[in-house]
Chains A and B, each alone.
Chain A
Amino acid sequence: MSCNSVKTKLSSYVDGEMSAAELQQVKRHVASCPDCYKQLEQFRGVRTSLRDLDAAPEAPSDLPDRVLRTIKSSRTNYFKFAFALAVPVLLAAMIISSRTPKPISNSDRDLTIKRQLAKDRIFDAGTDPTSGASLVHYTSFEGR
């Protein structure tokens, strides 16, 4: 498969819209072609950015009116009083919450430990690449 042919298919590859046979061909080519690999990375970045844009909620059409109404109502004494009371209460709650140790789930502990082990091995091998230590891939360690 040529570079030109692969480059036209990268978009489908990233979107998962490809037959298994084609997928293997593209994978094989990208694994041995730094140019196509780089382009694939760019595609992945663009796709993620677009997904994030899609996911962002649209502002409701009446938002400006609602904001104005809120500002007007905040001028009432009642609101000022409530606000004055709420701020210290919220601050106190935040301080207490930050100092209280939160229970950790076992899956969270697993992930923390695996990441610690993986990152140490990655950086041992990376900082001494000709030591023969294998530059493991994070997922390969995670999957153990």
Chain B
Amino acid sequence: MTELRKVEPLTKRDILSTYFRSTFMLGSFNFERMQAIGFCVTMIPAIKRFYHKKEDQAAALKRHLEFFNTTPWPASAIFGVTAAMEQKKAEGGDIDEAAITNVKIGLMGPLAGIGDPIYWGTARPILAALGASLALSGSILGPLLFFFGINIIRFLTRWYGFQVGYRQGTDIVQDVAGNRLKKLTQMASVLGLFVMGSLVSKWTSIKMPLVLVSYKQAGHVVNTSLQNILDSLLPGLVALLMTFACMWLLKRKVNAIYIIFGMFAIGILGYWAGIFGL
């Protein structure tokens, strides 16, 4: 057994610096190793603190330039775990390079599985929808609500994510696989889907004034439009069907931009043909 060296833990300043760097994590996103440089740059304060020999530093930098990609905000928890492992390694603990890489890679996927529904699927769309509904009437509250709301969530996630990861080290692996986070993800998914459902109905406007039946009754002309029929069936049905069509196309890996252009084409042709109205 090699004797453990005493390694100074991260100082308050290191943690602040790591946080600040982590907020630029995706700056150099590239198609080869995605968030790799960002990961490395975020780890620099920890590497400087734990390693003092040049070759140790170079080796640490190299292993953090490997492929990395996950939901950005909760990734701070991975930074915390990685810092804790680097510290152990520097102390001469029983950790090799592969272990660190494996934990990083192992956490990446599950964390994205939690992070994407919570942040991109629920928190941001809901705050954006609330903000936009206020903004449509010209109220400055709309942008402010969105901007500060989302940034508070982001800050808390990054700040406490790192703390928890650094303190718990590899124990966090159980947390990520455990029930608590799964519960949270499920709750976010229920919330997100519920709100998406209501938005499909509330925030789409499709008018189909095409007259299908026209007859005279007591001197008045009574027109029954496509809209009348659809409304008596289920208002919002067209929007619902369009949503499903988009989901189907997206599942077939059709680029969202093409779908959007297709929607424009439908709008223009539909307006020209008189099916859609303003």
Do A and B form a real pair? no
